[in-house]
Structure 1
Amino acid sequence: MSQGNLDQKVVWITGASSGIGEALAQVFANLGAKVVLSARRGEELERVRQQLNHPENHLCVAFDVTQADQAQQAVEQVIEKCQRIDYLINNAGLSQRALIADTTIDTERRIMEIDYFAQISMTKCVLPYLENQGSGHVIFISSVAGLLGTQYRASYSAAKGAIHMWANSLRAEYAEKGLNVSVVFPGFVKTNVSFNALNGAGQAQAHQDEAIENGLKADDFAQKVVKAVMNDQEYIVIGGLKEKLGVAISRISPKLMYKMIRKSKVK
């Protein structure tokens, strides 16, 4: 992708303080976009901003995406400073590593709050501005787990599947209002996601998974996402051969896929 393809476009990324969000920010900044970085940790956002191409062009807006009032204030701040939003990337999220029987209902609700409700709340805050512009592109970072469902990720899979369906409805309702909607389904990407993944009691797992450690590099993943988004792809599966094969089999023979999942040793 050549420099300047996104010259002066405003790209807002939540969960931008590390991992996939940080990698996406690097790619978009290299393409000339004005990147708005959001997460709870302001100092980490500033670290990311300073590493971007032309850091003076980019903006940090720290807030808690699960708090609707903070999200609304953040939207107003971004509009005031940037005048528009061209891309909203709902990337903030939280994973899970616990069996259903070991997961408290509070942990179930927390995962759903962050991975589903926060995403739609954020999008609904931005929608009036995108509709007024007559253009915009909303991207949701879901997961291959949201297409298949596996052991140890029941709540996470449910939330990521729910955001996919909500995005489909959003796309249908706003198709004639200039809004593009994409959903990205990552497979295993090498980030700190498994360190932060919740166990059944709602505490961070605090160690890396082997599958994540051997996953796609975040920079490579981000390059593929941005290329797909710029080509207006709506359904974007990015991962290794195992994940892509699983998604393909689930479409052709769900029964076979479920048998394969039952025999897998995923954690």
Structure 2
Amino acid sequence: MAKLNSLDGKVVWITGASSGLGKALAQECALQGAQVILTARRFEELENVRVGLLNPDQHLSIAADITDEAQIRHAHEQVLKCKGRIDWLINNAGLSQRALISETSMQTERAILEVDYFSQVFLTKTVLPTLLAQKSGRVVFVSSVAGLLGTQYRASYSAAKAAIHMWANSLRAEVADDGVDVSVIFPGFVKTNVSINALNGEGKAQGFDNDATANGLEADEFAKISVKALLKGEEYIVVGGRKELLGTWVSRLSPSTLYKMIRKAKVK
């Protein structure tokens, strides 16, 4: 469990960096002295984020669709060409869901797993040889409290976020003696566009927010808590309000109690 005093000069690659949690994490890492690599599909939006970061000239925007393996390989080559190393890889890009199981098409099920699980697995497998050669680095996955609890309207999302958590656990065990660390962050409700962009059963964006997200933690507060925990070398990081933290504790102590709580919960 490697601890760092700061991110001065460290290279941090963040996916889903054009908005929401990714943008907030980029801002916080830049404040801590990191050289940030910003990746998302739209270059212009990445550049808008980059120029707003502290010391913008030391950061880099690389547009790529994380579900396209050829684009990811090319992005990895660009990072190494420009920066020569990767210290933190933050797998943040994700896609949420707001639909009952009975309403969700198989195409939508697969689309969510593709973004939230398979693309993160592929990116990590692409970067891993670089980290192993360095004998240093940290792979970070942004999972979700939903991946620990499983709630209504989020079945595919919860499953994907749980899957990447378990994959991360296996990776951590396999690279434990190779200088590479693995952390998983479990955000609760954070004020972002995640609900607006969440897929309905037909695979289209929901298009509106919900109260829980609108009243959630501020994204910059989430980023401060997360980066502080990562610098300490923490591997299991839950970031959220009292309800989410309570839910994660109950999930460990009494799963049957948790299931009763979820059944009664008014989540949408």
TM-score, normalised relative to structure 1: 0.98
| 2:116 is equivalent to residue 115 of structure 1 | yes
* Structure 2 runs not aligned, ≥5 long: none
Q: Which amino acid aligns with 1:28?
A: C
Instruction: Report the counterpart of residue 41 of structure 1 in structure 2.
Output: 42
* Structure 1 runs not aligned, ≥5 long: none
| 2:145 is equivalent to residue 144 of structure 1 | yes
Instruction: Report the counterpart of residue 220 of structure 1 in structure 2.
Output: 221
Aligned residue pairs, count? 264
Instruction: Report the counterpart of residue 135 of structure 2 in structure 1.
Output: 134
How far, CA to CA, are the matches of 2:64 and 2:208 in structure 1? 26
Instruction: Report the counterpart of residue 31 of structure 1 in structure 2.
Output: 32
How far, CA to CA, are the matches of 1:104 and 1:50 in structure 2? 40
How far, CA to CA, are the matches of 2:265 and 2:8 in structure 1? 45
Q: Which has the higher contact order (CA 8 A, sep 6+)?
A: 2
Deviation at 1:6, TM superposition (A): 1.2
Q: Which amino acid aligns with 1:104?
A: S
Deviation at 1:7, TM superposition (A): 1.1
| Contact 2:103 2:201 (C-alpha < 8 Å) held by counterparts | yes
How far, CA to CA, are the matches of 2:6 and 2:117 in structure 1? 31
How far, CA to CA, are the matches of 1:55 and 1:264 in structure 2? 44
Instruction: Report the counterpart of residue 210 of structure 2 in structure 1.
Output: 209
Q: CA RMSD in A?
A: 0.7
| Contact 2:6 2:231 (C-alpha < 8 Å) held by counterparts | no
Deviation at 1:90, TM superposition (A): 0.1
How far, CA to CA, are the matches of 2:252 and 2:24 in structure 1? 30
Deviations 1:109-168 (A, max 9, x none): 000000000000000000000000000000000000000000000000000000000000
Deviation at 1:227, TM superposition (A): 0.3
| 2:248 is equivalent to residue 247 of structure 1 | yes
Deviation at 1:69, TM superposition (A): 1.1
SS of 2:182's equivalent?
strand
Instruction: Report the counterpart of residue 65 of structure 1 in structure 2.
Output: 66
SS of 2:51's equivalent?
helix
SS of 1:248's equivalent?
helix
Identity, % of aligned positions:
64
| Contact 2:6 2:33 (C-alpha < 8 Å) held by counterparts | yes
Q: Which amino acid aligns with 1:126?
A: V
